Structure 1
Amino acid sequence: MTRIRYVEPCGRARDVEVDQGLSVMEGAILNMVPGIEAECGGACVCATCHVYVDEAYGSTLCPPNATEHEMLDTVASERRPTSRLSCQIKVVAALDGLTVYLPERQT
């Protein structure tokens, strides 16, 4: 299990243990973390699982592929250099302690 911290726009943080191999989005959905809508179920076609990744983990993640990069142009909240779609972040041991910040809105 890998610990992921989800921080809501109000600042409330929630630590969740997520099985390796799942996505950060799946970890949120399985643990009923508010703020991740995931309308497409993780198919990278809706951008409703947008998060801001803590800068400390930016180099640990694989960079966004072309599809994710394109979908990030459609996010409802501000796109930042740390923006990612949580459906595209696979949980691995190296991400233990990862913090993601949820945007104000997904749609």
Structure 2
Amino acid sequence: MHIYVTDHNGKEHELEALDGWRVMEVIRDWGLPIKAECGGACACATCHVFVDPDWQDKLHAASDEEEDMLDMVPDVKDNSRLSCQILMSEELDGLKVSLAPSAKPDAEVA
């Protein structure tokens, strides 16, 4: 299983992913620069990603808690999600996301 992650410089990375892992964990464990301060507890918005439009409808809807966290980021878009709230599965093999500016390790989140 793989995900495709575009980093802050516009370079796409193909990352091997495991079933049941959070997308945030995959990105972090492969060494891409993602803040992910709360470690997946949906208590911050520092793992913010933009989901490729072709994949948006394949994800479960964001919870109210996730929506509340996304309200804190200045660069939120219609395709914004917290990568800690997306669990990998066979159905998401090939998922494409881009790291949001607010997920950059030196970024300030409101």
**Matched residue SS, 1:105:** helix
**Matched residue SS, 1:94:** helix
Give the CA deviation at 1:30. Answer: 1.1
The Cα RMSD (Å) is 1.0
Task: Identify unmatched segments of 5+ residues in structure 1.
Answer: none
1:52 to 45, 50, 64: 50
Count of residues in Structure 1 that have an aligned counterpart in Structure 2: 104
**Does 2:7 correspond to 1:8?**
yes
TM-score (norm 1): 0.92
Give the 4+ runs in structure 1 shifted more than 6 A. Answer: none
Aligned-pair identity (%): 41
**Does 2:62 correspond to 1:64?**
yes
Give the CA deviation at 1:105. Answer: 3.1
CA distance in 1, matches of 2:78, 2:102: 17
TM-score (norm 2): 0.90
Does the 8 Å CA contact 2:8/2:99 hold for their aligned counterparts? yes
Does the 8 Å CA contact 2:48/2:102 hold for their aligned counterparts? no
